[in-house]
Amino acid sequence: MSARSMTEEDYLKSIDELTLYSGCATLSQISKLLGTRRQSVYDEIGILVDRGLVVRSGKGKYLLSGSGRREANKFLRKHRVAEILLWKALKLPWETLDEEAMGIEHGMTETIISRVCEIYGCERSPNGNPIPGADGEVAVIDDIGYDEAIKLPRVEISRVIFETRDIMNFLAKNGIMPGSQVNIMEGRMFHSGSANVVEIPESIARAMRYQT
């Protein structure tokens, strides 16, 4: 990822995604995800804690507060609708949508969002995630995480909750998207594509949610 100016919204979005993926966000994780210096992350997190948007959850671990989550959802609304626009209107490759949306998400006004939703629909993003309302409220999706899914014989991918370039490239290369079927055998996940069967590494499997 090329260097760019980070905003409060970027930090809140990153903490939200990392919390879904691994239970909390650490300074090193945020720094790696945003491609910025650890000291810069430390300084910004301190500001967000002082403002009541982020709370500490143990040494070096952070979570969003209730108000922080609502603010993150307001930004995720822009980001996910930007993904819809890039996917439906510009036909960009699915695996690039998260990264490409970063270039236009800050300019997504409610006028643009409303128009995109009117034309293409905004129930879920291309990665299966719900679109929050303008007030930061978001519908709860009845799906399960990796730890529950791995105990079942078969599940369907509901959504991708943590998107990095490596994760998205792996999924796209192997034709794995929301709606894809996954078989579980001996505690390992497999996807049967048109040409072969591929094992999904746990680090990538944890980046998704599932439905039975």
- Residue 34 is encoded by which pair of tokens? 């945003």
The C-alpha R_g of the chain, in whole angstroms, comes to 17
Confidence of residue 142 (pLDDT cuts 50, 70, 90): very high
10 Å Cβ neighbour count for 137?
A: 10
Taking every pair of Cα atoms in the chain, the longest distance, rounded to a whole number of angstroms, is: 53
Residue 4 confidence (pLDDT): 39
Q: How far apart are CA 188 and CA 171, in angstroms?
A: 16
Mean pLDDT computed over 130-155: 95
Confidence of residue 58 (pLDDT cuts 50, 70, 90): confident
Mean pLDDT computed over 27-48: 93
Confidence of residue 192 (pLDDT cuts 50, 70, 90): confident
Residue percentage of the chain with pLDDT more than 70: 96
Domains of the chain by start residue, with CATH: 8-64 (1.10.10.10), 72-140 (1.10.60.10), 146-211 (2.30.30.90)
pLDDT at 17 over 50: yes
Q: What pTM was computed for the model? A: 0.89
Q: How far apart are CA 161 and CA 164, in angstroms?
A: 10
Q: How far apart are CA 153 and CA 196, in angstroms?
A: 19
DSSP structure string for 189-208: EEEE-SS-EEEE-HHHHTTE
Nearest to 84 by CA among 118, 58, 48, 111: 118
